[in-house]
Structure 1
Amino acid sequence: MNLSSAFRLSPAQAMPAAYTHLRNLVAYRELIYYLVVRDLRARYKNSVLGFLWSLLNPLALMLVFTTVFTIMRPGHNIQNYPIYVLCGLLPWNYFAAGLLGSTNSIVAGAGLIKKVYFPREALPIAAVLSQLVNFLLAFVVLFVALVVFQSPWSAWLWLLPLVILMQTCFILGLSFILATINVFYRDVMMIIDVVILAWFFLTPVFYPISAVPATVNLLGFTLPLHRLMYVLNPMASLINAYRDILYWGYRTDLDFLVRTLITSLVILIFGYWFFQRYS
């Protein structure tokens, strides 16, 4: 089936009952676990430091950004900048690595697909979950930084799993879409590299949103740039939530939680439907 002909299928033909698909995934949970472990072992195979790289990578990037923006080019006077940048850098690394790994998961797993039957969605799911493991391990760096800089622990820390879950749903939704398109058009991987780089600079990962003009005039219209960044860029909203909880120490706005949760679920459901339509 090619990409154009797939759009002629009805949603009823393309996606059976969600319960059936979820039941299949649960039945193959051991396979997903195996794929996650295999991916982690392959990533750190023949590596002297092994899983320590999941800690050293964000630590090194944090030191680079701290050196550049607080020593070489001070300006925004952000207190405890290492914590500030880690609150943006860790979620971003999870997003970028999860998206890149899952986009190529179906193509890379073609050999396994030909040998044995299993739910194809297990491949992008496993790719994202393996990056989730690295993401959770990297939190050690952030928590150590909180202790070193004597930053108070937030009473709203219990909201952190919800934010991580919302981000995971968002990544999975995009992964299903991109992994599907990548089967038909291998240019997707090259395009994603460029898009993620541009997306990184359009997201307040290492800079405060106050560094961006609050409004911008375009063709005679005044656009609320700050609001558009959060509404049109889910990663900006998610990173803001991480900072609210871990850096500022207060509860992120309820309307944000509801809006971001709905957005993440819509993208996840659409992405899964899109994936099943071409399976």
Structure 2
Amino acid sequence: MVLHTKANHRDLLIELIRTNFKLRYNNSILGFFWVLMKPFLYFLMLFVVFTAFRGGEASAEYGANLLLGIIIYTLVNEGVIFGMHALTDLAGVILKVNFPRQVAVTSAVFMAVVNFAFNTVILLILAILGSFAPTIEGFLYFVFILSMTIFALYSISLFSSILLVKIRDLHHIMELVMQLVFWGSAVFYSIDDMSGAFGQLIRLNPLALVIHASRKALLEGDIIHVKAMIIMSLMSLALYFLGNLFFKKNIKRIAEFI
């Protein structure tokens, strides 16, 4: 019975992911092609602009670092936004079908993960052209960082998906917050180049550390910020337990707000 229930939940998760996919790309002319094009066009724009600021000096290393930063930021941005809309986007399904509502949150965050997986294709091509080859240790550390980040996004979404139903302006607030996060997350620069009070402030941003550690691990094979990653993992775990309690407490009354 337990295995049967888990199988049903898995099938439901797959179906909800398909539904999310159709809702987001069905009315788009280019459809899923935008998943690849958006970060790539963003990368080209920033690469051209900041290469000009660097005196026209372009390198595969800077390109790979920039693209990885954009891809990770896109994962976090989409994870936050998609997860926040998990309940409102599937309101029609939620009001008609009885299933664990956490599955809706999981499917929304997983959409961001799927997009991330496709975006890494571009990074892989650039890595091959630039002769970047991650070490086994570096790759495994990157997988750990990535897993921790995805888990944190899910934990945050347990709160935000409920709050958005009650506070609709949260969508606009979070879009503004994520724009500010972009400029403070070392996406198009390295925190190694930042010093003084501003540098210290940037280092307080968890996403900046995630991007920096990912770059070093995947592109150079260096293992850095281990203590910070462990602390963030523990914080994500605590956030998950609190988020789960918050979600279960409020989800039963959410139908009247949707």
Q: In the alignment, does 2:253 pair up with 1:272? A: no
CA–CA distance in 2 between the matches of 1:187 and 1:257? Answer: 32
CA–CA distance in 1 between the matches of 2:209 and 2:242? Answer: 20
CA–CA distance in 2 between the matches of 1:47 and 1:191? Answer: 25
For structure 2, list consecutive stretches of 5 or more residues without a partner in the other structure: 252-258
Question: In the alignment, which of 84, 90, 93 is matched to residue 65 of structure 2?
Answer: 84
Q: Residue 127 of structure 1: CA displacement?
A: 0.6
Deviations 1:241-265 (A, max 9, x none): 2112122222234323322221222
Q: Residue 129 of structure 1: CA displacement?
A: 0.2
In structure 2, give the amino acid aligned to 1:274: F
TM-score when normalising by structure 1: 0.80
Question: In the alignment, which of 143, 154, 160 is matched to residue 135 of structure 2?
Answer: 154
Aligned length: 247
SS of equivalent to 1:215: helix
Question: In the alignment, which of 176, 191, 194 is matched to residue 212 of structure 1?
Answer: 194
8 Å CA contact retained: 1:105, 1:124: yes
For structure 1, list consecutive stretches of 5 or more residues without a partner in the other structure: 1-19, 217-224
RMSD: 2.5
CA–CA distance in 2 between the matches of 1:161 and 1:37? Answer: 25
Where do 1:56-205 residues align within 5 Å? 56-71=37-52, 73-74=53-54, 79=59, 80-155=61-136, 156-205=138-187
Q: Residue 161 of structure 1: CA displacement?
A: 2.3
Who is 1:245 aligned against?
217
Q: Residue 191 of structure 1: CA displacement?
A: 0.7
CA–CA distance in 2 between the matches of 1:146 and 1:116? Answer: 45
CA–CA distance in 1 between the matches of 2:141 and 2:76? Answer: 19
Q: Residue 62 of structure 1: CA displacement?
A: 1.1
CA–CA distance in 1 between the matches of 2:56 and 2:221? Answer: 20
SS of equivalent to 1:28: helix
Q: In the alignment, does 2:21 pair up with 1:40? A: yes
TM-score when normalising by structure 2: 0.86
Q: Residue 74 of structure 1: CA displacement?
A: 1.0
SS of equivalent to 2:32: helix
Who is 1:229 aligned against?
202
In structure 1, give the amino acid aligned to 2:36: L
Who is 2:255 aligned against?
none
8 Å CA contact retained: 1:237, 1:260: no
Q: Residue 76 of structure 1: CA displacement?
A: 11
Q: Residue 83 of structure 1: CA displacement?
A: 0.3
8 Å CA contact retained: 2:191, 2:208: no
Q: Residue 105 of structure 1: CA displacement?
A: 1.9
Deviations 1:202-225 (A, max 9, x none): 111111114433336xxxxxxxx5
Q: Residue 173 of structure 1: CA displacement?
A: 1.3
The structure where helix makes up a greater share of residues is 2
8 Å CA contact retained: 1:87, 1:246: no
CA–CA distance in 1 between the matches of 2:39 and 2:164? Answer: 28
